[in-house]
């Protein structure tokens, strides 16, 4: 099965945001990936809900919203109001993760959990049956354009084994340093969805790059 491609608008040209979203709408990408950063959980700030409302209005693709923030549960109503398909929260930011996952599902969105590079897959054992998706960070979150962490491929294999062992239906998504070379290895290891930022938006033909990623 072909991987789901989710271009990350964090790497888009914000002076031409409408144009870049139109490109995604035309492309074979399935989702639009949106990173929300608060400057506390990660050392950077991205964009707030006024910008996201604009993106949601223009996008014809489902929104895959990734909250790199503390207390993400406080923003469930705002993310829901965007019409988001998936709300992704960090394992490391949620001491009561099961409750947050339930709240996201009750709000009518698909709940997903993200793990940082240093967070072991084994910690998901007790939540894996309750989530729609797990996002494996293959760079340290906070900045675009970072170098791919090689151990991420093995981590995807571990996660695939956990999903199969527990009978979970969770998808595996990977974000960070994804390009044609790393993407191929991640898909071979068991990834279902690839988040691509620089690989898409820095390409001479972003639409063609999405097509190539989709064919991995």
pLDDT of residue 70: 94
Confidence of residue 145 (pLDDT cuts 50, 70, 90): low
Active-site residue flag, 35: yes
pLDDT of residue 48: 81
Please say if the pLDDT value at position 1 is more than 90: no
CA geometry: angle at 120 spanning 129 and 168, to 5°?
15
Please say if the pLDDT value at position 141 is more than 90: no
Q: In which domain, by residue range, is 121 found?
A: 2-213
The domain that contains 79 carries what CATH number?
Answer: 3.20.20.70
Terminal C-alpha separation, the chain = 9
Q: Which residues are annotated as a binding site?
A: 8, 33, 35, 66, 142-145, 175-177
Q: What's the number of domains the chain is made of?
A: 1
pLDDT of residue 49: 85
Torsion of CA 215, 175, 65, 124, to 10 degrees: 110
pLDDT of residue 142: 72
Closest to 161 (Cα-Cα) out of 134, 195, 121: 121
Active-site residue flag, 38: no
Lowest average pLDDT, out of 22-26, 33-37, 90-94, 110-114, goes to 33-37
Q: What mean pLDDT value characterizes the chain?
A: 95
pLDDT of residue 102: 98
Which candidate in 20, 38, 175, 192 is catalytic?
Answer: 175
Which candidate in 20, 35, 64, 192 is catalytic?
Answer: 35
Of all helices (H) and strands (E), which one includes residue 19? helix 17-26
Measure CA 148 to chain center: 15
Confidence of residue 143 (pLDDT cuts 50, 70, 90): low
pLDDT of residue 215: 95
Please say if the pLDDT value at position 144 is more than 70: no
Lowest average pLDDT, out of 70-74, 116-120, 142-146, goes to 142-146
SS3 of residue 175 by DSSP = strand
């Amino acid at each position: 099965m072909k991987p789901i491609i989710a271009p990350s608008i964090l790497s888009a040209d914000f002076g031409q945001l409408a144009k870049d979203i139109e490109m995604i709408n035309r492309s074979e990408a399935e989702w639009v990936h949106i990173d929300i950063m608060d400057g506390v959980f990660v050392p950077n700030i991205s964009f707030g809900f006024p910008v996201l409302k604009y993106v949601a209005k223009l996008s014809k693709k489902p929104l895959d919203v990734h909250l790199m923030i503390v207390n993400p549960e406080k923003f469930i109503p705002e993310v829901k109001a965007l019409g988001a398909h998936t709300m992704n929260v960090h394992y490391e930011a949620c001491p009561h993760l099961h409750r947050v996952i339930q709240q996201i599902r009750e709000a009518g969105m698909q709940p997903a959990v993200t793990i940082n590079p240093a967070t072991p897959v084994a910690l998901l054992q007790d939540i894996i049956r309750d989530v729609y998706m797990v996002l494996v960070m293959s760079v340290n979150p906070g900045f675009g354009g970072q170098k791919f962490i090689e151990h991420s491929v093995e981590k995807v294999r571990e996660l695939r084994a956990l999903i199969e062992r527990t009978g979970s239906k969770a998808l595996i998504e990977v974000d960070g340093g994804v390009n044609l070379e790393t993407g191929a290895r991640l898909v071979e290891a068991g990834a279902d969805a690839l988040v691509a930022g620089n690989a898409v938006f820095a390409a001479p033909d972003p639409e063609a790059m999405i097509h190539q990623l989709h064919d991995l």
